[in-house]
């Protein structure tokens, strides 16, 4: 199991690969003959929109259940969450007029959503380690009392 630096490096390299391929897709994307346009790629954009919304919903489920979300930087976490929501919602109407822009918005939404997910995972790992340390202290104290 990789450490924090390994995880961060893997995520950053994956995002750079995604940004590169999104850039190529946007660059090679042919502009529509007319605007607004609905073609076969619009439906895959709409599909990505629905998956993006579902992903955002899953991320905020703990908050909807009035549970704490442990992240290192709550301000950054919520800013990225809002940015992800704005860009995923904007990608569909943008597609009708600017196909390339829509591709970039989808990538940005995915990247920010990935960053929020990583923050949740790192927060959960920190909480588990903290709990494990507390248990070890309590076990030590119990052992001292019993011996």
Residue range(s) defining the domain that contains residue 95:
13-141
**Residue 26 is assigned to a structural domain of this protein:** yes
The DSSP annotation for 107-134 comes to HHHHHHHHHHHHHHHHHHHHHHHHHHHH
**Residue 4 is assigned to a structural domain of this protein:** no
Distance between CA atoms of 143 and 132, rounded to whole angstroms? Answer: 16
Tokens of 80: 């990225």
**Residue 3 is assigned to a structural domain of this protein:** no
**Residue 72 is assigned to a structural domain of this protein:** yes
pLDDT in tens, 61-79: 998 999 988 898 999 999 9
Could you tell me the pTM of the whole model? 0.76
**Residue 24 is assigned to a structural domain of this protein:** yes
pLDDT in tens, 20-32: 888 787 777 777 6
CB-side neighbour CA atoms (13 Å) of 76: 12
For the chain, the domain total comes to 1
């Amino acid at each position: 199991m990789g450490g924090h630096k390994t995880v961060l490096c893997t995520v950053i390299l994956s995002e750079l690969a995604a940004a590169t391929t999104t850039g190529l897709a946007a660059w090679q994307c042919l502009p529509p003959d007319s605007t607004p346009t609905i073609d076969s790629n619009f439906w895959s954009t709409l599909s990505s929109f629905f998956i993006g919304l579902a992903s955002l919903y899953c991320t905020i489920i703990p908050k909807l259940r009035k549970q704490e979300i442990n992240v290192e930087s709550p301000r950054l976490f919520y800013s990225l969450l809002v940015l992800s929501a704005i860009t995923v919602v904007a990608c569909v109407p943008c597609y009708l007029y600017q196909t390339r822009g829509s591709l970039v918005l989808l990538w940005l939404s995915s990247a920010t959503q990935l960053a929020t997910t990583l923050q949740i995972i790192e927060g959960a790992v920190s909480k588990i380690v903290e709990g494990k340390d507390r248990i070890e202290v309590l076990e030590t104290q119990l052992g001292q009392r019993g011996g």
